[in-house]
Amino acid sequence: MNVRKYFVLPGIFLACFFSLTTSSGIYAQPQGHQHSVAPSVGKPESEGAKIISGFKFKPLNFIPPKVDRVVLENGMILYLLEDHDLPIFNITARIRTGAIYEPPEKSGLASLTGYVLRSGGTLSMPADKMNEELEYMAASVETSIERESGSASLSTLKRDIDNGLKIFADVLMNPAFPDDKIRMRKDEVIESIRRENDNPQQIAGREFRRIMYDRKHPYSRKVDGTPETIEKITRDDMIAFHKKYFHPNNIIMGVSGDFNKDEIIRKLNTVFAGWKKEEIQFPEIPKVERRYEKSVNYAYKDVNQANVMIGHLGINRKSPDYFPVKLMNFILGGGSFTARITSRIRSDEGLAYSAYSDFQTSRDIGMFFVSLQTKLESTNRAISITLEEIDKMRKAPVDKDELSMAKETFMNQFIFRFTTSASIVAQKVDIEYEELPLNYLETYLDSVQAVTQEDILRVAKKYLRPEDAKILVIGDKEKFDKPLDNFGKVNSIELK
């Protein structure tokens, strides 16, 4: 399957035109490119710009390639897409597990299990032997467990599918978890944690999550755990965690590349033979309470720039307002140099090189935040501007051109998510894992196009709360332009 034959995008032609005209002094970018640069004020419109503005294209009509969905007898869900352009074979899998299910006194258990699952080899193949086999085949097998999911992948050549599948299945079903590999990984993680306070951005991300969520909720914890909790984790804990969640009916697998559908299903049934479906009792996770409580938080760090995070609770992944919220955020601070926060703080005021916003979605309520770095002497000013821009989004509809650019960017980016068969099946796996409608990709463009200026204003009023935002600043307050208590009572954080 050559994905390129599925579409011809106007932006591709524009990109070619731009590359031919830049040598003549005309600057432009493909439609929807996030890193656009504002035209110079007062300059007359160039001939090239007039030509470009006159281009007319038919509405984009893109239909995603069809992917086969199959459920094996053991409950494993497969998405299959044959692609015979190159002799390669890929599997991407999601396992319903995650750090949210580990006991708080042993935080880091899920991440440690996900890493040693692969690095420790299997009961029948030690890690060194597995590494040699995979290197000889120019193949890779990887595993990990994050906050709300586990993942596994296989990449190999067509000629090595049988051997690759055998190793891949063995890793998922029969990990060895040897003590030496566990100790090695523990030492690596603990050393990484000890270095965190050397990086202001890592400090900000860690502490902001703690500020945002109740300390008893797993969303407030770091996926890697702490040195204390990591040392409490035993080999038996890891074996039990794997045994609880790694079952075929708890896995969604995307298969792509140079294979025959019926033949690969037979091979998968063979390598996973004997792996039985099991009823899994997932621990109950407390619901995130949607509370807005303003707070100002500060941690001292001897650095040249202040690292600032501002935000509050946002939405979950299945929110009916997902598309208007994401488009609204693009206009506010997610659209790189064209976004309001970025344009004003970076381009107009020259206060920061990096300033952006995002709605981070989770299975439960995620975070809305703005992240920026600015010189210490402009910290207060940068925070004030950010809060002003957030408030402006709630007071008036966005400009038609702003919404049009946001939509075009989303649609163009969507098209380029289908450049490889592996990326296509990976999206199908994610959609099923997130329990989104199975026709999500087919309706994506319509969902984007349906968003109106009124929708943007409505969700801005509903989900943006600058008066209740939590503010976190990492830096040296003695050098700030104004005291932080300008925004409220300051809570000091001691970095340990």
Residue 405 lies in a domain: yes
Query: Is residue 93 domain-shared with residue 228, that is, in the same domain?
Result: yes
Q: Are residues 319 and 453 in the same domain?
A: yes
pLDDT at 485 > cutoff 90: yes
What pLDDT score does 23 carry? Answer: 32
List the one residue out of 375, 144, 319 whose CA is nearest residue 328. 319
Rounded Cα distance between 131 and 138, Å, is: 10
Q: Does 282 map to a domain?
A: no
* Predicted pLDDT at 33: 36
Percent of the chain with pLDDT over 70: 88
Q: 230 and 267, same structural domain?
A: yes
Give, in order, the Cα–Cα distances in Å from 304 to each of 194, 200, 410, 490: 22, 11, 36, 21
pLDDT at 104: 95
For residues 138 and 260, state if they share a domain: yes
The more confidently predicted of residues 64 and 391 is: 391
Decide if pLDDT at 59 tops 70: no
Domain shared by 307 and 251, yes or no: no
* Crossing angle between the packed helical segments 400-415 and 322-329, to the nearest 10 degrees: 110
Q: Is residue 94 part of a domain?
A: yes
More reliable by pLDDT, 65 or 487? 487
Question: pLDDT digit string (tens) for 392-431?
Answer: 999 999 999 999 999 999 999 999 999 999 999 999 999 9
Confidence of residue 482 (pLDDT cuts 50, 70, 90): very high
Indicate whether 157 and 251 sit together in one domain: yes
Residues 146 and 101 sit within 8 Å (Cβ to Cβ): no
**154 touches 140 (CB < 8 A):** yes
Give the residue-averaged pLDDT of 116-133. 97
Please choose, from the candidates 90, 67, 87, the residue with its C-alpha nearest in 3D space to the C-alpha of residue 77.
67
- How many percent of the chain have pLDDT more than 90? 82
Domain co-membership, 194 together with 258: yes
- Average the pLDDT over 115-132 and give the result: 97
CATH of the domain at 183: 3.30.830.10
Whether residue 433 lies inside any domain: the answer is yes
The whole domain housing 463 covers 295-492
When pLDDT is cut at 50, 70 and 90, the band that residue 52 belongs to is low
Looking at the fold, whether 309 and 241 belong to one and the same domain comes out as no
Mean per-residue pLDDT of the chain: 89
233 and 139 in one domain? yes
How far apart (Å, rounded) are the C-alpha atoms in residues 3 and 84? 11
Look up residue 359 and give its two tokens.
């709605």
Domain total in the chain: 3
Give CA–CA dist 324/454, Å, rounded: 10
Residue 37, domain member (yes or no): no
Task: Tell whether 254 and 323 lie within a shared domain.
Answer: no
Q: Which residues contact 401 (CB under 8 A, 6 or more apart)?
A: none
Cα–Cα distance measured from residue 42 to residue 93, given in angstroms and rounded to the nearest whole number: 54
